[in-house]
């Protein structure tokens, strides 16, 4: 019979090392007289701890994050659809850098980037406003289907979850002439029918906008790929320049 040695998890060993280094850094101020030596030792240990923490504790980014072109096209799609439907609505567009993404994943946040948009729901609260926001949220999915169809669902999880909430809100707020009826009181078939009546037309509208502005999407995506951040004014400038 062969006995297999069970070594401790390597991450646990690194955590022990990090704890030890931090402990040594703290007590060094008590036993080492020279202040420059103290500070040098402390910051050296702090750097090493940060490196080990990033190397072993923070989760790895999803493999598809390495394809920044896909992510930039996704966010550019949101921006172009938003500016087409409601000019002046885009505040900024951002992609998170890999090290930022790892910190977000540590806390269960899978966001890879976002387009900061002035929501028309907050200002209008009408069915057409909700449909506009649904269309904007489908802009990333639409952009990838038009330009990189094999990757169209990358980055769409949060968008689709938000759209489900908006569809539910159309029922609960009585915007569908269904006063007194709530989402929870509907059957699964009725919910599916309502979603089918709202989402596919808005998705087609988003795809039509992207198809008409493919060049603009690619230009904005390239700027985003290089800088990870594009302002709303830059988006509008690029749209006007390539119109």
User: Would you state the pLDDT for residue 153?
Assistant: 82
What is the CATH number that goes with domain 63-241? 1.20.58.760
Whether pLDDT at 212 is above 90: yes
Q: Which residues contact 101 (CB under 8 A, 6 or more apart)?
A: 61, 65, 112
Closest CA to 207 of 139, 157, 108, 159: 139
Looking at residue 181, its pLDDT comes to 82
**Sheet of strand 229-231: strand arrangement:** 113-117, 90-95, 229-231
pLDDT for the residue numbered 9 = 40
Q: Is the pLDDT of residue 65 over 60?
A: no
What integer is the mean pLDDT of 125-133?
A: 87
Per-residue pLDDT at 4 exceeds 50: no
Lowest mean pLDDT, pick from 17-26, 193-202, 207-216: 17-26
User: What pTM was estimated for this model as a whole?
Assistant: 0.72
Q: How confident is the model at residue 112 (pLDDT cuts 50, 70, 90)?
A: confident
* Ranges of each domain in the chain: 10-56, 63-241
Distance CA 191, CA 200 (A): 14
pLDDT score, position 142? 95
| Region 183-190 average pLDDT | 89
Most confident range, picked from 24-28, 53-57, 216-220: 216-220
Average pLDDT over residues 115-128: 74
Share of the chain above pLDDT 70, in %: 64
> 101 burial class (0-12, 13-18, 19+ CB within 10 angstroms)?
buried
Confidence of residue 20 (pLDDT cuts 50, 70, 90): low
The lowest-confidence range among 18-27, 92-101, 198-207, 226-235 is 18-27
| pLDDT bracket for residue 171 (50, 70, 90) | confident
Q: What is the pLDDT of residue 5?
A: 31
């Amino acid at each position: 019979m062969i006995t297999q040695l069970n070594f401790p998890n390597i991450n646990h060993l690194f955590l022990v090392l990090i704890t030890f280094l931090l402990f040594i850094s703290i007590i060094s101020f008590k036993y080492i007289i020279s202040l420059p030596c103290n500070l040098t030792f402390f910051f050296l240990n702090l750097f090493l701890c940060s490196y080990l923490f990033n190397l072993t504790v923070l989760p790895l980014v999803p493999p598809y994050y390495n394809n920044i072109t896909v992510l930039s096209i996704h966010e550019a799609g949101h921006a172009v659809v938003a500016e087409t439907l409601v000019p002046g609505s885009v505040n900024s567009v951002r992609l998170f850098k890999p090290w930022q993404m790892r910190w977000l994943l540590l806390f269960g946040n899978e966001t890879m980037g976002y387009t900061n948009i002035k929501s028309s729901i907050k200002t209008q609260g009408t069915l057409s406003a909700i449909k506009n926001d649904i269309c904007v949220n489908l802009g990333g999915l639409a952009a990838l289907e038009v330009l990189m169809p094999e990757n169209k669902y990358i980055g769409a999880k949060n968008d689709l979850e938000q759209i489900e909430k908006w569809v539910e809100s159309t029922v609960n707020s009585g915007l569908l002439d269904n006063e007194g009826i709530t989402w929870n009181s509907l059957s699964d078939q009725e919910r599916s029918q309502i979603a089918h009546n709202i989402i596919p037309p808005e998705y087609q509208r988003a795809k039509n906008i992207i198809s008409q502005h493919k060049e603009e999407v690619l230009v904005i995506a390239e700027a985003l790929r290089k800088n990870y951040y594009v302002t709303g004014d830059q988006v509008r400038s690029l749209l006007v320049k390539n119109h």
